[in-house]
Structure 1
Amino acid sequence: MKSFSDLGDTISIVWEGLDVRNNIVPDGSYTVSFEGLSGNQLEAVKQSATFSVNTTPAEAPPEVVFYDAEDQFSPNEDGRQEIGIIDFEFNKSVDWLYEVFTSGSELVISFTGAGTIGNVTWDGKDINDDVVPDATYTTLLTGTDSLGQVVTHEDEILIDTVAPEYGNLVIAPDPFSPDGDGIDDTTTISLDITADSLVTVYILQSDSVGLVKELDRTFHHEDKTLELQWDGTTDGGVVVSPGEYQISIWIRDNASNRVEPYPIKTLVTVE
């Protein structure tokens, strides 16, 4: 966008909102990065900051021009996806209020701030510092400008701390013989899962070291039995040698709750 340079211990930079071609930049968020180099070529610690350019007239009504939020997270102290992060931006400076409500419209917690750019980090706790129950919560973002004009944005966020479960894992036929004779040339891996989940399936050497094939890495729905076929080939399309191979299955939901064990391991025999 544009760069500046100067010498000294204290640097003051004035940017008039123009790019390298001296055009006024569009309204929006911008990041400024600071880098320094001493006389003996030692680099200073890099720093950055975010600010906004806003040419919106004072009388214009406020608008939410950017909103990005976690749709679910899992505050269960397992170290994975423990918090919900909500970022938003208005077209002008406002006093903003972010509120979380139960399905019965009871206030759970609220956050406040001011400016054009806002950020909320919610750890899944209520105003009493207790972790809220698993449920879908309604969120309401309200921005009020200096003229009392108001804009709102409503959303939902799911608290989910329960890990999916699996069942009815079947590998059949086992053994199988991928020799092209039309009899048991493939094997089918099938199982049921109790929640919408990302499923990753690897075929490995029996010692769990060598990767043979990535069989699946897709999102599956709980209302369908997962069925995958392996034709006995590697990722390169080469038919494997006879022997035992490990099937490793990783399953986690959208809130990063994992099926245990993680991964599920079982063996299949190629003849």
Structure 2
Amino acid sequence: MTLVARITFVILVGATFAAFFVAQRLKSEPPVITVRAITQFFSPNGDGSKDVSNLSISTKVEDVATVDVVDIDGDRVRRLREAVPMAPYRPLRLVWDGKDDDGAVVPDGRYRLRVALRDEGRSAVLQKTMNVDTKAPTPQVCLGDPCQKRDPRLQNIVSQGDRAIDIYIRGRSRSETTLRILRTDLAGEPKLVRTLHRKGRYARKRWDGLDEAGKPLPPGTYIVQARVRDAAGNIGVSPSEFEPGAVSGRPGLTVRGISAEPPVRPVTAGGRTEVFVDARGAEFRWRVRRVGERRIVKRGTATDPKLVFRAPDSHSGVYLLELRAGRWSTTVPFLVQAKERAKVLVVMPTLTWIGRDRVDDRPFDGLPNTLLTGDKVRWPRMFAGDHGLPAGFAEDIAPVLVFLDRRKLRYDLTSDIDLDLTRNPRASDREGVILAGSMTWVTTALGRRLRDYVEDGGKLAVFGSDTLRRGVRLRVVNTDDSGTLERPTQPAAADPFGTRVARERRTSGPVTLSEYSDASASYGLMEGALDLPDFTRLEEATSIGKGKLLSGVGQPLTPEEEAAAAESGKPARELRPALSAVQLGKGTVIRVGLPEWPSKLDDPNVAQVTRNIYDILRGVQPRIRSEGR
């Protein structure tokens, strides 16, 4: 090794040792820069809560400082102050708004301060971090047991007397959690009934089941909404929107007095009938009567949720099971099919009953599952409805059944679910079919079979508005005893028979309907009835497709309308049938597009036409009868 190389080596070794000792001295000395205050968590999202990090630093010596914000890798993202004089122990207050030198909000993550002291000739990255967090927390609410627990104890269905409802919050923070109890099964927006507060460090809140006034919640469907604020000031609300499929966890609560789940398919007269009754463990009384009659045909007392009894051994009809437990009561319908066969089959719209009923199914998200919202619906299910009765049953269906029963007009009885599962009806074994009430949804297969039934020679009458225009998929599990209704569709332009129906038209006052002059009076639809008075709601057919109009009844032109058309030279209002009989193939479809029809069955003309429809369905020529005249 040359002399120069030896000298260079000695100098380098000496410099290394000197640097080492200087570094050790600096490390052992008290820090020159002190962080007096720093906002460790903040969210620069402009919501007014913790939008900036407030900083305060000081030095032990007088110097000129430059302060930067650096990321976790030490790269500068923002210069806060440059060449600012600092007096010893006098704080320098700074504010960082979470933006970089270009004015853009920095990505979420950890950041530090780097302070360069000009006179000291050095810079230091302070160890305390600032956490930029703009992501709102996503809490979950579960009732009964924690959300993450397998096979949890469900507490989503309670009685009005339950006083220990456990609410678990997942994803909480150290801040206070606010819980809002809202009722969701009423018309309009969810209604707030109670607000609860819980310290953030606790996962469970035990609620006494009372509203703000200290009263027990009435039976209905509720949802528990959690509001959580994290350390950075972000607010997370769950559920944030009340839409099917958008709710996580198990925040739903159903308060129940007494409810029942009747069979959705007919039971044979005198046969075994099973109804699941949920009285929340209480003893209940039950009794059975036929629709339209006061006479009780069966009664009893039970505590077993599985109520079993023999169906009335009589003519086909709808019976009502009336239940009472304490001050709670409910009434549900069930179908009984006689042992003797009748010529006319009446079909109950159980698909629509179930699809419209506002019941919260599993996994209990607190939102009623209905086909109207496009949700998936389980069947069978508890009937909530109007104290158990399906929507429209008392107004649209019961009057028609009572009309038939009191005139001893015999019929067989089934449901649309049963028709779908049994591949009926067939024109070869049914002369006539009545679709009672609004059959809003129909499966594609059943709609096709109804059309085939008519084209093959069957006669079908449709009572009810907004019928057979929406589709739904019937999914079956467990050997035809249960399943789901899925994928409801929007209304189609035409029903399965090709008829196009306009939106319901409401007249300014009662109008009288009459048969069109060009329709065939010999068909017999209006036999014994000159007109139909005092109707205000009309569902008129705009097209009958490939069918042939046999009889059409609608609102005739008034003299004023005829005069106005003649004076203006414009066509008069098009005559459209609200009540019609249309030949399709070898059979006939009778459509009653008058929603007020069931409420007017006491009118002699309406009663006469209803008898005419029944006669046509069973293959008998209509004749004049004394209906209340």
Deviation at 1:67, TM superposition (A): 1.2
Say if 1:262 and 1:84 are closer, same or farther in 2 by CA, change over 3 A: farther
Q: Does 1:190 align with 2:163?
A: no
Deviation at 1:89, TM superposition (A): 2.8
Tell whether the 8 Å contact from 1:63 to 1:90 is kept in structure 2 after alignment. Answer: yes
Structure 2 counterpart of 1:114, which letter? P
Map of 2:85 onto structure 1: 114
Tell whether the 8 Å contact from 2:160 to 2:217 is kept in structure 1 after alignment. Answer: no
Deviation at 1:251, TM superposition (A): 0.8
Q: Percent identity?
A: 20
Tell whether the 8 Å contact from 1:241 to 1:270 is kept in structure 2 after alignment. Answer: no
Map of 1:229 onto structure 2: 206
The alignment yields a C-alpha RMSD, in angstroms, of 4.0
Deviation at 1:69, TM superposition (A): 0.4
CA deviation string 1:7-43 (max 9, x = no partner): xxxxxxxxxxxxxxxxxxxxxxxxxxxxxxxxxxxxx
Q: Which moved more, 1:99-108 or 1:245-254?
A: 245-254
**1: CA distance between counterparts of 2:57 and 2:201?**
28
TM-score normalised according to structure 2 size: 0.27
Map of 1:256 onto structure 2: 233
Map of 2:142 onto structure 1: 169
Say if 1:203 and 1:132 are closer, same or farther in 2 by CA, change over 3 A: closer
**2: CA distance between counterparts of 1:88 and 1:105?**
19
Deviation at 1:74, TM superposition (A): 1.2
- The DSSP-based 3-state class of the residue aligned with 1:155 is coil
Q: Does 1:134 align with 2:105?
A: no
Map of 2:47 onto structure 1: 78
Q: Which moved more, 1:244-253 or 1:64-73?
A: 244-253
Deviation at 1:71, TM superposition (A): 0.4
Map of 1:217 onto structure 2: 199
Structure 1 counterpart of 2:139, which letter? Y
Deviation at 1:165, TM superposition (A): 1.4
Tell whether the 8 Å contact from 2:111 to 2:129 is kept in structure 1 after alignment. Answer: yes
Map of 2:473 onto structure 1: none
Map of 1:13 onto structure 2: none
Partner residue of 1:69 out of 38, 62, 67: 38
Structure 2 counterpart of 1:75, which letter? P
- The DSSP-based 3-state class of the residue aligned with 1:242 is coil
**1: CA distance between counterparts of 2:42 and 2:103?**
17
Say if 1:139 and 1:270 are closer, same or farther in 2 by CA, change over 3 A: farther
Deviation at 1:174, TM superposition (A): 4.1
Larger helix fraction of residues: 2
Partner residue of 1:101 out of 70, 77, 82: 70
**2: CA distance between counterparts of 1:204 and 1:248?**
6
Map of 1:156 onto structure 2: 129
Relative contact order, higher structure (CA 8 A, sep 6+): 1
**2: CA distance between counterparts of 1:205 and 1:163?**
22
Say if 1:83 and 1:203 are closer, same or farther in 2 by CA, change over 3 A: closer
Deviation at 1:160, TM superposition (A): 0.9
Tell whether the 8 Å contact from 2:173 to 2:231 is kept in structure 1 after alignment. Answer: yes
Tell whether the 8 Å contact from 2:39 to 2:55 is kept in structure 1 after alignment. Answer: yes
Tell whether the 8 Å contact from 1:62 to 1:92 is kept in structure 2 after alignment. Answer: no
Say if 1:164 and 1:249 are closer, same or farther in 2 by CA, change over 3 A: same
Say if 1:97 and 1:149 are closer, same or farther in 2 by CA, change over 3 A: same
TM-score normalised according to structure 1 size: 0.55
Deviation at 1:104, TM superposition (A): 2.1
Gap runs ≥5 in structure 1: 1-60, 221-225
